[in-house]
Structure 1
Amino acid sequence: MAGLYGKGARAERELVQHFSSLGFCVIRAAGSGVNSLSPDLLIFKRGIQYAIESKAHETLNLAISKDQFENLQKWEEITGITPLIAWKVNRQGWKFLHLSLFSKNEKSYSISLENAWRMGKNLEEIG
Structure 2
Amino acid sequence: MVFGTYRKGSRYERELIDIFQQKGYSVIRSAGSGVGTPSPDILLFMRGKQYGFECKAWDKGSLGIEKSKFAELRHWSENTGMTTMIAWHLSREGWYFLHLDELGEKEKNFTVTAKRAREINRRVENLI
Structure 2's unaligned 5+ residue stretches are: none
Find out whether 1:82 has 2:69 as its counterpart.
no
Find out whether 1:57 has 2:58 as its counterpart.
yes
Task: Tell me the number of residue pairs that the alignment of Structure 1 and Structure 2 aligns.
Answer: 127
For residue 12 of structure 1, give the secondary structure of its aligned residue in structure 2: helix
Residue matched to 2:112: 111
Structure 1: distance between partners of 2:6 and 2:55: 11
| CA-atom RMSD in angstroms | 1.1
C-alpha deviations, 1:32-81, integer Å up to 9, x for none?
24357110000000111100000000110100000111101000111000
| Greater Cα offset, 66-75 or 113-122 | 113-122
Taking only the aligned residue pairs, the percentage that are identical comes to 43
Residue matched to 1:41: 42
Contact 1:27-1:42 at 8 Å conserved across structures: yes
TM (norm. structure 2) is 0.95
Structure 1's unaligned 5+ residue stretches are: none
Contact 1:36-1:67 at 8 Å conserved across structures: no
Q: 1:35 to 1:75 in 2, by over 3 A?
A: same
